């Protein structure tokens, strides 16, 4: 009798439990299928962009050098000045050159007097020879003396002109049109022949980059290079490789880029660029599939039951406008769904 009561109570408790759970225990309904544009994520070949620093430089640099030794008596330019080809930059003076020039001038005067004397002697000998007084040998002797005196006069004049030209070589002229990059030698300094007095930009302004030699095979003439945006005072947009230097220095290959709107006011300034060094495989999706909430990026991924789940992802800028690269959170073959309007802030 007690066992029968116990079984009856268990049956009543089971009935109450089934009633609380919905009666017949039917399976939960499946979620509705996700609506919106769908895309299957696949690997794509994208440019392998390497961030490097480019330097604003001139295609060439000209050195204004001293042609003679002496004292720098005048310096007419400073760093940053614009100069024209042939403009006087500085003046070097050597007092010994002036003394040599005066000495050669004195020799010219002596040679001129000797030349005049021998010419007059030749004239008298020639007259006497014509009247039969002197023999032919005497005339030849006077003629040779006159030619020797004229030769000495020409040599003295040439030495005087060379000394005067040496003195004129003390003027240091700008070798090209451009801007003075450095002019560090102050007036009053003693300089030697060949010493650089000023460095001047020459040729167009370019962006000069140094790429690792192991990755330099991907550089081509005419290739476009992206300039990192948002740099104050730096050019924007893209640059073009216009020259690749054949030599390798300290493991680096040097290339020059032509950028529109590049100013030569700050030679030596650093500008960040993204250099393409070949291609790589990456997961790239349109940015319209991404929503951002509270600083976190999400992508809706289609599930097995047809619904869409929001998955946090890590992104990087894509190679083209309107694209982003997925660094983590998605795998090849996943199907993503565009978010509905108003679901968050799009990229």
Just give the CATH number of 65-90+170-200.
2.40.50.100
Q: Residue 235: which region, alpha, beta or left (left: phi > 0; alpha: psi -120 to 50)?
A: beta
Count other Cβ atoms within 10 Å, centred on residue 200: 27
The string of DSSP letters for 89-135 reads: EEEEE-HHHHHHHHHHHHHHHHHHHHHHHHHHHHHHHHHHHHTTSS-
User: CA 289, CA 285: separation in Å to the nearest integer?
Assistant: 7
Question: pLDDT (tens digit, 9 = 90+) per residue, 146-197?
Answer: 999 999 999 999 998 888 888 888 899 999 888 888 898 899 999 999 999 9
Contact 56, 275 (CB under 8 A): no
27-30 contacts at long range (C-beta below 8 A, 24 or more positions apart): 30/305, 30/306
Q: Please state whether the predicted TM-score (pTM) of the whole model is above 0.85.
A: no
* pLDDT tens digits along 281-331: 889 999 889 999 888 999 989 887 777 888 899 998 877 778 898 999 889
Distance (Å, whole) CA 135 – CA 294 = 122
Position 10 scores a pLDDT of 47
Q: State the fold for domain 95-168.
A: Helix Hairpins (1.10.287)
Please give the average per-residue pLDDT across 78-89, as a whole number. 90
Q: What does the pLDDT read at residue 246?
A: 84
Read off the pLDDT of residues 216-240 as tens digits, 9 standing for 90 and up: 777 788 888 888 877 776 777 888 8
CA dihedral for 119, 122, 124, 127, sign (positive or negative): negative
State the Cα angle at 19 between 13 and 25, rounded to 5°. Answer: 110
Q: Where are the domains of the chain?
A: 65-90+170-200, 95-168
């Amino acid at each position: 009798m007690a066992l029968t009561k116990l079984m009856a109570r268990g049956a009543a408790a089971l009935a109450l439990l089934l009633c609380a759970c919905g009666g017949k225990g039917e399976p939960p309904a499946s979620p509705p299928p996700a609506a919106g544009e769908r895309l299957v994520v696949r690997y794509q070949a994208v440019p392998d962009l390497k961030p490097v620093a480019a330097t604003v430089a001139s295609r060439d640099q000209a050195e204004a050098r001293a042609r003679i030794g002496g004292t720098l008596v005048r310096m007419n330019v400073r760093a940053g000045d614009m100069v024209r080809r042939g403009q006087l930059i500085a003046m070097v003076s050597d007092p010994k050159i002036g003394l040599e020039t005066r000495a050669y001038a004195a020799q010219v005067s002596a040679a001129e007097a000797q030349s005049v004397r021998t010419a007059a002697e030749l004239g008298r000998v020639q007259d006497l020879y014509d009247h039969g007084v002197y023999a032919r040998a005497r005339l030849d002797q006077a003629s040779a003396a006159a030619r020797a005196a004229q030769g000495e006069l020409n040599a003295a004049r040439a030495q005087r002109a060379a000394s005067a030209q040496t003195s004129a070589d003390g003027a240091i002229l700008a070798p090209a049109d451009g801007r003075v990059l450095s002019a560090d030698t102050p007036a009053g300094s003693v300089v030697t022949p060949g010493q650089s007095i000023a460095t001047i930009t020459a040729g167009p302004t370019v962006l000069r980059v140094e790429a690792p030699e192991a990755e330099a095979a991907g550089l081509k003439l005419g290739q476009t290079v992206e300039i990192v945006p948002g740099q104050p005072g730096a050019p924007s947009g893209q640059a073009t490789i216009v020259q690749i230097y054949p030599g390798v220095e300290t493991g680096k290959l040097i290339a020059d880029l032509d950028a529109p709107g590049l100013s030569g006011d700050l030679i030596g300034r650093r500008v960040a660029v993204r250099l393409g060094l070949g291609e790589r495989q990456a997961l790239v999706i349109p940015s319209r599939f991404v929503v951002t909430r509270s600083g976190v990026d999400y992508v809706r991924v289609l599930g097995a039951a047809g619904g869409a789940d929001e998955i946090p992802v890590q992104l990087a800028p894509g190679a083209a406008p309107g694209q982003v690269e997925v660094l983590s959170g998605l795998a090849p073959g996943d199907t993503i769904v565009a978010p509905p309007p108003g679901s968050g802030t799009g990229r």
